[in-house]
Amino acid sequence: MLLVAAVSPLILVVVLLLLFRRSAVEASFAGLLWAVATGVSMFGLSWSATGESLLDGLDPALRVVYVLSTGLWLYQLLRRTGALERMAGTVERISPDPLRRVLFVVIVIAPFLEAVSGFGAGIVLAGPLIMALGYKGMQAGMLSLLTQNLVPWGAMAVGTTLGAEIAGVHPRQIGILSTLFAVPIFIYWSYAVAVTAAGWRQAVKQSWDVLLAAGLMLAGLSIANRFLTVEAACVFAGLAAAGGLGLIWRKGREKRLQPSFLSGESPVSLMKALVPYLVFLAMIAGTRLLNMIPLIADWFKNHPYLYSPGTAMLVACISVVPLFRMDGQEVRNSLRDTWKQVRPAALSTIGFVLMGMLLKDAGMIEIITGSMSIDGAVYLLAAPLIGGLGGWMTGSNAAANAMWMHFQAGMARSLGMPTDVMASVQNTAAANLTMASPSRVALGAAVAGIIGREGELLQKVLPLSLGVLGLVVVCSILFLAFGELWQNL
């Protein structure tokens, strides 16, 4: 009876999302209210303890919302300045080769844009560029969805850092492990882009281009996760890979190119468009370097919002206003549109984080994990499915981790498995299955102009997404089998 009561809030969420097609906001708060009622009536949780649990969960939830809000505000500001269009000039000048152009957009530019904004911004921003390259209809819809290929680092890795906090693992460790998981997965997605854009034969023929673009992104991720910060990893990787591909693919081209090899704009114009991102990276690097000083590290610990990547992004947002001479009305409109865009993601994340915290504090997670008499081998197969289900249902890595990470970490500990590896399994599976979530599919269909064909689009992208779960299982087996080896990588 207690087991049924313990799992009932999670079942309620699944039923509301899958059977009744309710929004993630409605499902998360319904699950939260049911968790409160169950915790008080069935598990002896006092009302004061319930209040303390909710307050404990509110702090990490609001820090996630802070990062989301500033990232989306930057997008809304830049959308009004024309800076995104200046960066779009990159695509037309980077190479005359059609496949190189689409690779540049989908696996370099789009992950960068997703990293600084998140929650499908890569689809919205890169989709029009994909269509400008000549791709239409279902093909454009598929390529737009395939921009969601590095979601663990989307929105400055809020889902990854939240998952790490819930699991009790350092974010850098999750970032490094997620990068190792990403090696086969990102190459898989890169070939999926090439095949979708040009067919199998051309994809194989241009394997050098596919592997070069994927390799530069993965190298940038690895460097940033180890030596900078997980929050800025994909921002750094996107900028580095774009510059690297521009230099390599420019070789041998005619000298009649315009002054900037990356854009039809002048170098100064392109640099102006990149200034907010450079400000963000400089702030991140500066705070992380200062954090190495013990006295300042203690101060940051007591002022977590100042250390948050959201503050670095806020400074970047503020820099946009004088840089592009925006007036007050434009800024107010950007804030209004940011609120509209961030509200659903923020509310669902808060609801799932609070529900997860309450399930843990009431002892429900402990009862669920303690009652599951499965061995490690079976759990290795089940863990990616659980994480993927959360990502598919919610369309958000942060919400999926808030929903399931307590359970995954608890199962890992009860089975004596490395918590960091299994937390990374949850994080990677959830992030990659968001690509096929109903909300992302609807967004991709809208951008590609194929509204009404969402079911057809889902049928095409879902098998690709499920293939990722197999790669996650293989990687987790290898990590567990060769634990000492990967820790030295």
Residues 271-312 have pLDDT tens digits of 787 788 788 878 877 887 887 788 888 898 888 888 887 888
Of 129-138, 197-206, 316-325, 341-350, which gets the smallest average pLDDT? 341-350
| Greater pLDDT, 361 or 428 | 428
Residue 326 has pLDDT above 80, yes or no: yes
Q: Distance (Å, rounded) from C-alpha 195 to C-alpha 183? A: 18
Write the burial class of residue 148 (CB in 10 Å: 0-12 exposed, 13-18 middle, 19+ buried).
buried
For 32-59, the DSSP string reads HHHHHHHHHHHS---HHHHHHHHHHHHH
**So what's the pLDDT on residue 254?**
46
Contact 159, 397 (CB under 8 A): yes
Contact 431, 440 (CB under 8 A): no
Q: Give per-residue pLDDT as tens, 376-418.
A: 778 888 899 889 988 887 778 988 898 889 889 988 998 889 9
Per-residue pLDDT, averaged over 56-77, amounts to 81
431 to 73, 311, 350, 390: CA distances (angstroms): 22, 24, 18, 9
Closest among 402, 427, 422, 401 to 412, alpha carbons compared: 422
**Residue 89: band (very low, low, confident or very high) from pLDDT cuts 50, 70, 90:** low
Tokens 């097609």 sit on residue: 21
The dihedral formed by the CA atoms of 446, 442, 213 and 245, expressed in degrees to the nearest 10: 30
In the predicted model, what is the mean pLDDT of the chain?
Answer: 85
| Residues in Cβ contact with 37 at an 8 Å cutoff, skipping those fewer than 6 apart | none
CB 472 within 8 A of CB 408: no
Please check whether residue 131 is in contact with residue 85, taking contact to mean a CB–CB distance below 8 angstroms. Answer: no
Query: What are the Cα distances from residue 206, in Å, to 191, 194, 198, 252?
Result: 10, 9, 10, 17
Assign 259 a pLDDT band (cuts: 50, 70, 90). very low
Residue 487: predicted pLDDT: 57
The pLDDT > 90 percentage for the chain reads: 39
Q: Report whether 414 contacts 369 (CB < 8 A).
A: yes
Structure confidence by residue, pLDDT tens digits, 230-246:
988 998 999 999 989 98
Report which of residues 425 and 452 the model is more confident about.
Answer: 425
pLDDT given at position 79:
80
Q: What is the domain partition of the chain in residue ranges?
A: 2-487
Over residues 373-386, the pLDDT tens digits come to 666 778 888 899 88
Binning the chain into helix, strand and coil, the percentages to the nearest 5 are: 85, 0, 15
Q: Is the pLDDT of residue 116 over 90?
A: no
Residues 6+ apart with CB under 8 A from 85: none
Label residue 470 by pLDDT band (50, 70, 90). very high
**Cα 144 to the center of its chain, rounded Å:** 15
Contacts of 159 (CB under 8 A, 6+ apart): 151, 152, 396, 397, 398, 399, 400, 401, 427, 430, 431
> What's residue 185's pLDDT?
97
Q: Count the helices and strands in the chain (H runs, E runs).
A: 25, 0
- pLDDT number for residue 294: 86
Query: Residue range 33-46: average pLDDT?
Result: 93
Radius of gyration over alpha carbons of the chain, in Å?
22
Q: Which pLDDT score, from 0 to 100, does residue 253 have?
A: 56
Q: How far is the C-alpha of 161 from the C-alpha of 406, rounded, in Å?
A: 14
How far are the Cα atoms of 87, 140, 206, 264, 425 from residue 247, in angstroms, in the given order? 16, 27, 18, 15, 35
Q: For the beta carbon of residue 343, count every other beta carbon within 10 angstroms.
A: 13
d(CA 65, CA 483): 35
- If you ran DSSP here, which 8-state letter would residue 107 be given? I
Tens-digit pLDDT profile for residues 190-246: 999 999 999 999 999 999 999 999 999 999 999 999 888 898 899 899 999 998 998
pLDDT of 103 reads: 96
Do residues 454 and 441 lie in contact, with contact meaning Cβ atoms separated by under 8 Å? yes
Q: What is the average per-residue pLDDT within 307-321?
A: 88
The mean per-residue pLDDT over the stretch 79-85 comes to 77
pLDDT (mean) for 86-100: 77
pLDDT higher for 276 or 269? 276
At 475, give phi and psi (nearest 5°). -65, -45
Each residue of 142-179: pLDDT tens digit?
Answer: 999 999 999 999 888 989 999 999 999 999 999 999 99
Residues across the chain: 489
Q: What pLDDT, on a 0 to 100 scale, did the predictor assign at position 146?
A: 97
Q: What is the 3-state secondary structure (H, E, C) of 337-393?
A: HHHHHHHHHHHHHHHHHHHHHHHHHCCHHHHHHHHCCCCHHHHHHHHHHHHHHHHHH
Flag whether pLDDT at 263 surpasses 60.
Answer: no
- Sequence-separated (6 or more) residues with CB below 8 Å from residue 368: 3, 6, 7, 407, 410
Q: Extract the tokens encoding 215.
A: 């390799």
Measured CA to CA, the distance from residue 461 to residue 440 in angstroms comes to 11
Check: CB of residue 36 under 8 Å from CB of residue 382: no
Output the pLDDT for position 170. 93
Using a cut of 0.85, tell me whether the model's pTM lies above it. Answer: no
What is the rounded CA–CA span in Å between residue 106 and residue 95? 15
